[in-house]
Amino acid sequence: MAVNPDDKRDEPLLRTADKYTQAPKVSHKLLTKEERQAIIQADEQKRQEERKLEEHQGTGPIGHWWHKMRTGPNKVTAAMAIVALGVVYGDIGTSPLYTMQTFLTGQGGVAHANETAVIGMLSLVFWTMTLIVTIEYVLICMRVDNKGEGGIFALYSLLRKYGKWLIVPAMIGGAAFLADSVLTPAMSISSAVEGLQTLPGLESVFESNPNLTLMITIVIIIAVFAVQSRGTESIGKVFGSMVLIWFLFIGIAGAVSMSHNLEVLRALNPVYGIQFLFSGDNRAGIALMGTVFLAITGAEALYSDMGHVGRGSIYVTWPFINVALVLSYFGQGAWIIRTLKNPAFVHEGSTPNPFFAMLTPGMRYVAVLLSVMAGVIASQALISGAFTIVSEATRLNWMPHLQVRYPSRTRGQLYIPTINVVLCCSTLIVLLLFRNSEHIAAAYGLALTITMIMTSILVTVYLWHKRNKIAAIVFAVIFPTIMLMFFIASMAKFLHGGWFTLLLALAILTVMYTWDEGTKLERAQRRHMSPEDCLPVLQRLHDDDTIPYYADNIVYLTSDTEMKRIDTDIFFSIFANHPKRARAWWAVSVETADEPFTREYSVETLGTDFLFRVRIRLGFKVRTSVPAYLHQIMHDLLRSGELPSQKTSYPKVDADPEIGPIRYVLIHKELMPESKVSSKGAMALRIKYAIRHVAGSPTKWFGLAPYDPVTEVQPLFLATVRPPRLKRIN
């Protein structure tokens, strides 16, 4: 006698299958305990801010401005100010270690320096910091943000509607910034570790072990990248306290040295700097501007890291940082002037480091130890900035979509595991290639001048369209001109290592350009079908009992968020080769919300009980577990009657007898050999697909890895070339 399969679901094993599997299930709760506590704390903080706002209603514009700095997205707290110190200022904070020494080297040593040269150099450094960092970046660029995010790509996102040509400076600037992100950790950490060689007690150890410095640097670099997963807030709190001590130290040490020779205050007059630049006392010529640029190498990090720490934190902390840096430079300048007639330093070729030389012997031990910590921290600004730049690039479809983690409740503080690994490996390659900071310095800073020029161009366009045209003209005359001088001066480094920086920037630019071009070609080919076009044939396949089921549920993951249409890639996947018959077909897209704990979904049935368009919206702190959430959606539709019963007859690994087996499908595209496409377009697509192969499948991001999804490759049908007919022969 035949057995009714429906009776099998009463078997004990089917009913108790969940005892043998721990497949993830969706809770009945909308939030976890930790999420509820976080929301309660955020709501309480918001109420406190509203009460403070009421208290400051009658305090006038200044009081209102001060309140805005203490509340809202740009609020300033002592904790976040400390984070800003550790995340943003590490790079620019280590510049006093080598800027003035490089100046003396360019002059030919203390023997060829004079008071006019020192005052002129200090004037150039002071006014460059004032014009580029304070005015251009802090006061102008940081007012231009994209939902709190900074950086050249965020700036481009606001301006791209004003001209297609703007993609050129944006891509070039972003590629150069990422190239510098590779060099900065190698430069800052290696130069800091090499400072250990100056300690008398360790000189013999390093002399007997020439590779010891390199090995220590490698270990520290690996450790720095290993802690990135904890997030910039956690790192910044640890690093910030150290950076605070560092800036207090260099500021006080500089003030003490400067107090012995207040003549250096003449450098506050910009005339001395301009006169020295074009005078015979300047032995370095235009290359002097490359030395001056070393004082502002961390300026771009202020803008790119704005999303990590908030604009307000940078506004509050920069004045302190600026004063400490100026005091350090002026203190070193005062020491050089006092040393001009000192026989111990005036012999030919003497190039002492003014930063350490102006200190007493006992304080030099403290300075070396602090500089080691500061050098390690300096790399953090560029690493966190690189995460921001890559995140912005993926939103612009200039790079593959990679898994992004948000260690804190602030979306701006992000961590990208793949980029962290790539940066770490690239930094180690740079270190092994150049081996010490002296050789790395030859390539250092050149790429960053390119980024700052491109940023200046985009800011000029922003001012022209969004603000005042006269202000835009003034800005364009001053800032890009200054940055162009820095670039020309830095090109002197090209043959000594700068070629590596430009080669690295070119490689990154190639990735962004080809990914963008490939995406445009794919989108030009993409087509969509209306429900009335595809539903009749899908209904026929759904009801055709002569074709066995491919799976009860076939789930397609798609980037298309429009709910009233079906991507032709999905349609032809269903009918390609052997038709994929199913009880239900699903087209699922996932969006990331700006809120941390959002869990929402919407469904469009298109008037059927077998075709479902699902859009899942998850907060950026919520793990993307599509299988678990899709089971919940299916049960919701079963209860509402929109999805017919799918009771299974045999146990399944997900232990859910109410839902039939599910098969997940991902669709990739490949270029047809007969495609009528330019050689440039074909190359762009090939490189894009190669990058996608290296970057990996998005299965982990969707939470599908353990479910063995099917990855299909469909031809990319661009305009095709028809080959001539074949001639039949006997």
State the pLDDT at residue 122: 94
Q: Cβ of 487: how many Cβ atoms within 10 Å?
A: 19
- Number of domains within the chain: 2
Mean pLDDT of the chain: 80
Note whether residue 31 is domain-resident: no
The two structure tokens encoding residue 719: 């305009």
182 and 301, same structural domain?
A: yes
69 against 603, higher pLDDT: 603
High-pLDDT (> 90) share of the chain, %: 16
State the pLDDT at residue 9: 47
Note whether residue 63 is domain-resident: no
Contact 324, 85 (CB under 8 A): no
CA distance 254 to 331: 4
DSSP per residue, 321-333: HHHHHHHHHHHHH
Last residue of a domain, one of 518, 536, 557: 518
559 and 511, same structural domain?
A: no
CA distance 404 to 549: 37
Note whether residue 12 is domain-resident: no
431 and 555, same structural domain?
A: no
431 and 385, same structural domain?
A: yes
Say which CATH number the domain at 467 has.
1.20.1740.10
570 and 421, same structural domain?
A: no
Note whether residue 724 is domain-resident: no
Note whether residue 551 is domain-resident: yes
Q: What is the pLDDT of residues 590-643, one digit of tens each?
A: 887 767 778 889 999 988 999 999 999 887 667 778 888 888 899 899 999 999
Note whether residue 45 is domain-resident: no
What is the mean predicted confidence (pLDDT) over 438-461?
82
CA distance 111 to 132: 32
User: Which residues on neighbouring strands pair with residue 670, listed in sequence order?
Assistant: 715
534 and 505, same structural domain?
A: no
Last residue of a domain, one of 485, 518, 551: 518
Q: What is the pLDDT of residues 474-512, one digit of tens each?
A: 888 888 888 888 888 888 777 777 788 888 889 889 988
Q: Residues of 444-475 as b/e, b for ≥16 C-beta within 10 angstroms?
A: bbbbbbbbbbbbbbbbbbbbbeeeeeeebeeb
State the pLDDT at residue 57: 55
pLDDT at 55 exceeding the cut of 70: no
602 and 553, same structural domain?
A: yes
State the pLDDT at residue 2: 45
576 and 541, same structural domain?
A: yes
510 and 600, same structural domain?
A: no
Last residue of a domain, one of 494, 518, 542: 518
Handedness of CA 307, 312, 315, 321 (dihedral sign): negative
Q: Say whether 667 sits in a helix, a strand or coil.
A: strand
CA distance 378 to 86: 8
Phi, psi dihedrals of residue 516, rounded to the nearest 5°: -65, -45
Q: What is the pLDDT of residues 174-214, one digit of tens each?
A: 898 888 888 888 877 887 777 677 667 777 787 778 788 88
514 and 546, same structural domain?
A: no
- 3-state helix/strand/coil string of 269-318: CHHHHHHHHCCCCCCCHHHHHHHHHHHHCCHHHHHHCHHHHCHHHHHHHH
How distant is the alpha carbon of residue 725 from its chain centre?
53
Residue 554 belongs to what domain range? 526-715
Best mean pLDDT range from 76-80, 283-287, 483-487: 483-487
pLDDT at 15 exceeding the cut of 90: no
307 and 335, same structural domain?
A: yes
pLDDT at 161 exceeding the cut of 50: yes
Note whether residue 382 is domain-resident: yes
Note whether residue 727 is domain-resident: no
High-pLDDT (> 70) share of the chain, %: 81
CA distance 684 to 562: 27
509 and 361, same structural domain?
A: yes
State the pLDDT at residue 216: 87
Q: What is the pLDDT of residues 20-30, one digit of tens each?
A: 566 666 766 66
pTM: 0.76
Q: What is the pLDDT of residues 666-693, one digit of tens each?
A: 888 887 777 777 778 888 888 888 887 7
